[in-house]
């Protein structure tokens, strides 16, 4: 009898240990894993964002948009239609400058722009497989290249990490690429695993008080819903701010605490250097960044077809303040035109795309720009 009781007690103990182990792993916070030996491309696309993380012929895109022609009317080719709920002045300003429908359809870039992007990915960056795409928020200058890129890589099981406003995104992708094998992720999670490492959506760490109204009414100001993406490779951290503004998520204590965890090697400035961008506040939180890239251009004749008509986009005022924060050893780059009188950014570090290596923590200047698509 004692032997039977001992066996039963042993079985109960083993069962408790198994259950305890399972619960431990379920509730244990997942650790972030560093990537290794990656190349990160910041493409020159006007007042827009298109960046590529590449490793061993695989890639993840963090936004894939192109600047819009400020001189022609309704030049975009529209995809699936959805109704707009917005009448805010900030949204109307966007509509007036980017010529998108007031119905806020998902839009496609011009065919020539998409062909240029795909050619670069396949033939210059050598990307054979597309593992994932982050769309920071629903403004066309951050996503309009996505549809043709997905069509070109439709055999891949690409995960598209959707912005908070995602209605009809899956339908639109499939309409454009009927054989697409991927899926749309609408969870707005804190962490995603790609390329053998962790990509964090820092916006998702914000308090429920901040996130709840954004999730319920993401169309009111899409910039405020921007996913802020962070990853670390070979000990060097990259922070991509989307169109984050100096309000909303940026003022959330939990978000700020998460941002200030790490200094960065490379900062992708917010909202194309606009006056209301989150860049300066984020700079205070991170303390230092070796490199800062502005994906922007002034509305010069050279860039008119991709400037969106934004005449106020000029990194000069922000850069002057960043130098005080980051120090004189910090370096700055601009994908488009800059005030020619501003000597803090050498001319060779403008009007270009850029390739950053995690292994060397150095930036290579590339000649490829979206202007090549109209030559």
Among 86-90, 131-135, 267-271, 333-337, name the one with the lowest average pLDDT.
86-90
Q: With pLDDT > 70 as the criterion, what percentage of the chain qualifies?
A: 81
- Phi and psi (nearest 5°) for 267? -115, 125
Q: How far apart are CA 310 and CA 47, in angstroms?
A: 8
Q: Which one has a higher pLDDT value, 291 or 94?
A: 291
Q: How far apart are CA 277 and CA 247, in angstroms?
A: 9
* CATH of 44-374 among 3.40.50.2000, 3.90.550.10, 3.60.15.10, 1.20.1250.20: 3.60.15.10
pLDDT score of 82: 32
pTM: 0.85
Q: Where are the domains of the chain?
A: 44-374
Handedness of CA 208, 214, 215, 216 (dihedral sign): positive
Q: How far apart are CA 272 and CA 285, in angstroms?
A: 19
pLDDT score of 93: 36
**Mean pLDDT (the chain, rounded):** 86
pLDDT score of 276: 78
- Residue 222's Cβ-count burial label (10 Å; 0-12, 13-18, 19+) is buried
Among 11-20, 174-183, 185-194, name the one with the lowest average pLDDT.
11-20
Give the H/E segment covering residue 336. none
pLDDT tens readout for residues 183-222: 999 999 999 999 999 999 999 999 999 999 999 999 888 8
81-101: average pLDDT:
36
């Amino acid at each position: 009898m004692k032997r039977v009781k001992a066996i039963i007690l042993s079985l109960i103990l083993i069962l408790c240990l198994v259950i305890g182990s399972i619960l431990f792993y379920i509730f244990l916070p997942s650790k972030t894993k560093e990537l290794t030996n990656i190349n990160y491309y910041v493409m020159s696309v006007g007042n827009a964002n298109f960046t590529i993380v590449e490793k061993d012929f695989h890639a993840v895109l963090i936004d894939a948009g192109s600047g819009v022609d400020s001189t022609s009317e309704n030049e975009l080719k529209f995809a699936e239609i959805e109704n707009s709920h917005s009448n805010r002045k900030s949204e109307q300003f966007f509509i007036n400058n980017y010529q998108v429908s007031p119905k806020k359809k998902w839009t496609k870039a011009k065919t020539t722009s998409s062909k240029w992007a795909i050619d670069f990915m396949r033939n210059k960056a050598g990307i054979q497989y597309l593992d994932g795409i982050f769309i920071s928020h629903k403004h066309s200058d951050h996503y309009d290249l996505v549809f043709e890129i997905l069509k070109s890589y439709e055999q891949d099981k690409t995960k598209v990490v959707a912005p908070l406003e995602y209605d009809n995104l899956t339908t639109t992708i499939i309409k454009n690429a009927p054989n697409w094998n991927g899926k749309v992720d609408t969870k707005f999670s804190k962490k995603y695993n790609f390329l053998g490492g962790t990509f964090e959506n820092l916006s998702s760490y914000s308090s429920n008080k901040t996130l709840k109204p954004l999730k319920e009414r993401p169309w009111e100001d899409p910039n405020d819903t921007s996913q802020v993406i962070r990853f670390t490779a070979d000990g060097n951290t990259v922070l991509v701010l989307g169109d984050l503004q100096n309000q909303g998520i940026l003022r959330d204590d939990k978000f700020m605490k998460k941002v200030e965890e790490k200094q960065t090697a490379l900062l992708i400035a917010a909202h194309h250097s606009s006056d209301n961008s989150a860049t300066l506040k984020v700079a205070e939180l991170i303390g230092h960044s070796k490199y800062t890239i502005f994906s922007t251009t002034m509305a010069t004749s050279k860039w008119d077809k991709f400037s969106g008509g934004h005449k106020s986009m000029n990194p000069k005022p922000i850069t002057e303040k960043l130098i005080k924060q980051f120090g004189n050893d910090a370096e700055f780059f601009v994908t488009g035109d800059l005030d020619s009188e501003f000597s803090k950014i050498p001319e060779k570090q403008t009007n270009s795309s850029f390739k950053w290596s995690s292994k060397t923590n150095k930036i290579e200047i590339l000649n490829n720009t979206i202007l090549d698509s109209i030559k």
